Chain A
Amino acid sequence: MSVREAIEAGTLPDRVWIYSNYHCNLECAYCLTESSPRSRRRSLDAVSMIAVAHEAAELGFREIGVTGGEPFLRRDLAATIAAMAAILPVTVLTNATQFSGDRIAMTDPLVGLPVRLQISLDAPDPEPNDELRGPDNFAKVVDAVPRLVERGLRVRIATTVEPGRLSETDHRRLCELHRTWGIDDDDHLVRPVLREGRADATGMGARFERDQLPPELAVAEHGAFWSAFGPTIRGDVADTHLLITRTILPLATPASALLRLVEGRPQGADANIGIR
């Protein structure tokens, strides 16, 4: 079975994740890449990111996800995303803290393109959100999101919580909040903290096995991995237990290896733990 056939059959997920960089202006308590302002950047250059999008499309993938670190700390990010969005639809995970005031203009190249910004908001109130994500984070997000929506950008909200810890009341209040911004419930994700990276050091999150993670191909500067949750960092050392290949381009190399691994899985092993 080719990679394209596997995607069409649903054996392989149709999205490729790209870690654009690992540094971040925040230092979230559960960050699985231990990202912070002091992190090694591990940036994947724009030419490689665009090449991944090209080759992903040729192989039959249908979507690109970009994550980090905080991708928008890169000055070339918007132009790179725009180039990628000419090839495949792109979802960019961001903390939205870089869009204050006139700086929101950095998103201009993305308006009108098949680009979706997925923005983290972990609680309906500042205190519990900022406890996890850093001072003033709540205020910056509620300032940025409606202005992004107003500019015509599609926005998704992602709420990351300790498994089972989001109360019905808080869930309802989060939904009320995003609906006021014109974001409907389909664009609100609630997902568990996974015990990797900083979450492992702080004892947060759910432990998981490889086969509980959707086998999405994820590429970073230091290799290609099983799942967007594969290229994690612990103690400033890159984890390798979900590493597929060090080669990321040509993308067929890790994609074919991933397919071999997926085909070797026992039937019914593809349960996931609510991660999108």
Chain B
Amino acid sequence: MALVDLIDAERAPLLVAHLYENGDPGPIASALAQVPELCEVALPFLGASLGPGATGVRLKELVILRTSARLECRYCVAAHTAVALDVGLGLDEVHALRDDDDLDAAFADPRERALLAWIDAVATGRGPVPAGVTAAMRERFDDHEIVELTNCIGVTMLLNRFCTALDLPVGASVAERLTSEGFDIR
């Protein structure tokens, strides 16, 4: 049970009623609907931040799942384990991003390894990112890609803390699917 009342379709505020036209918009939108003027600007921003963008869906899902695992967000890890599998990440990669398996063994591409080091440093570090991590990132990514991916890390962190603090529930269908595929719902 979530910490706050998740607004259902019958009680949807006017500015965000359209979100419910195709059914349950999910717990993040249903919680944000408590503050419609925030919800109506936050959701497009979240969509632009977490969507494929110029860097592509694979790198974005690396960012989202890895960041969520490092911040131990139960809701986001479950939701994006399913998304990551749907967009083509391998089982070994998903397990590694979740810290179930060794990351280095699952990711050999130097560009992706640079990104994963960047994610860990940005999401869990304090103060400046270590020079070696920054140099590797700059060597393999353009400026606009660094901005997009770093924004994605930050927005994921926001959602991780939002979902964890409000104890948003993992959907039953997601939980059932992940359990059947051998994942823990932590």
Interface residues of A (CB under 8 A from B): 210, 226, 237, 239-247, 253, 257, 260-261
Cβ-defined contact, A246 with B35, below 8 A? yes
Cβ of B178 within 8 Å of any chain A Cβ, yes or no, is no
A246 to B36, alpha carbons, bound, how many Å? 7
List the 10 closest pairs (A to B, CB-CB), nearest first: A243-B13, A245-B37, A240-B11, A246-B35, A240-B13, A241-B11, A261-B14, A244-B14, A247-B37, A245-B36
What residue in chain B is nearest A260 (Cβ atoms)?
Answer: B15
User: Size range of the interface on B?
Assistant: 10 to 19
Cβ-defined contact, B15 with A241, below 8 A? no
Report the minimal beta-carbon distance from B146 to chain A, rounded to whole angstroms: 35
Report the minimal beta-carbon distance from A213 to chain B, rounded to whole angstroms: 12
A237 to B11, alpha carbons, bound, how many Å? 11
Cβ of B12 within 8 Å of any chain A Cβ, yes or no, is yes
Cβ-defined contact, A244 with B36, below 8 A? yes
Cβ of B10 within 8 Å of any chain A Cβ, yes or no, is yes
A244 to B14, alpha carbons, bound, how many Å? 6
Report the minimal beta-carbon distance from B154 to chain A, rounded to whole angstroms: 25
7 contacts between A and B (CB under 8 A): A239-B11, A241-B11, A241-B14, A244-B14, A245-B35, A246-B35, A246-B36
| Known A244-B15, A245-B35; 18 more pairs at CB < 8 Å | A226-B14, A237-B5, A240-B34, A241-B11, A241-B12, A242-B14, A243-B14, A243-B36, A244-B13, A244-B14, A244-B37, A245-B15, A245-B37, A246-B34, A246-B37, A247-B37, A257-B36, A260-B15
Interface residues of B (CB under 8 A from A): 5, 7, 10-15, 33-38
What residue in chain A is nearest B9 (Cβ atoms)?
Answer: A241
A214 to B162, alpha carbons, bound, how many Å? 37
A237 to B36, alpha carbons, bound, how many Å? 17
Q: Which residues of A contact B35 (CB under 8 A)?
A: 245-246
Q: Which residues of B contact A226 (CB under 8 A)?
A: 14
Secondary structure at the A interface, as helix, strand, loop or mixed, is mixed
Q: Which of A226, A240, A260, A261 has the most CB of B within 10 A?
A: A240
Report the minimal beta-carbon distance from B76 to chain A, rounded to whole angstroms: 25
Q: Which residues of B contact A247 (CB under 8 A)?
A: 37
Q: Which of B5, B14, B33, B35 has the most CB of A within 10 A?
A: B14
Q: Which residues of A contact B34 (CB under 8 A)?
A: 240, 246
Q: Which of B7, B15, B38 has the most CB of A within 10 A?
A: B15
A247 to B11, alpha carbons, bound, how many Å? 18
Partner of A210, one of B7, B14, B15, B37: B14
A241 to B33, alpha carbons, bound, how many Å? 11
Q: Which residues of A contact B10 (CB under 8 A)?
A: 241
Q: Which residues of B contact A240 (CB under 8 A)?
A: 7, 11-13, 33-34
Contacts A245-B36, A247-B37 given: A257-B13 contact, CB under 8 Å? no
Q: Which residues of B contact A245 (CB under 8 A)?
A: 15, 35-37
A237 to B4, alpha carbons, bound, how many Å? 13
Report the minimal beta-carbon distance from A101 to chain B, rounded to whole angstroms: 44
A257 to B38, alpha carbons, bound, how many Å? 12
A244 to B7, alpha carbons, bound, how many Å? 14
Q: Which residues of B contact A260 (CB under 8 A)?
A: 15
Report the minimal beta-carbon distance from A60 to chain B, rounded to whole angstroms: 21
A237 to B34, alpha carbons, bound, how many Å? 13
What residue in chain A is nearest B16 (Cβ atoms)?
Answer: A243
Cβ-defined contact, B37 with A257, below 8 A? yes
Q: Which residues of B contact A257 (CB under 8 A)?
A: 15, 36-37
Report the minimal beta-carbon distance from A12 to chain B, rounded to whole angstroms: 15
Report the minimal beta-carbon distance from B180 to chain A, rounded to whole angstroms: 36
Q: Which residues of B contact A210 (CB under 8 A)?
A: 14
Q: Which residues of B contact A237 (CB under 8 A)?
A: 5
A201 to B11, alpha carbons, bound, how many Å? 17
Q: Which residues of A contact B33 (CB under 8 A)?
A: 240
Report the minimal beta-carbon distance from B7 to chain A, rounded to whole angstroms: 6
A19 to B34, alpha carbons, bound, how many Å? 19
A253 to B36, alpha carbons, bound, how many Å? 12
A266 to B5, alpha carbons, bound, how many Å? 31
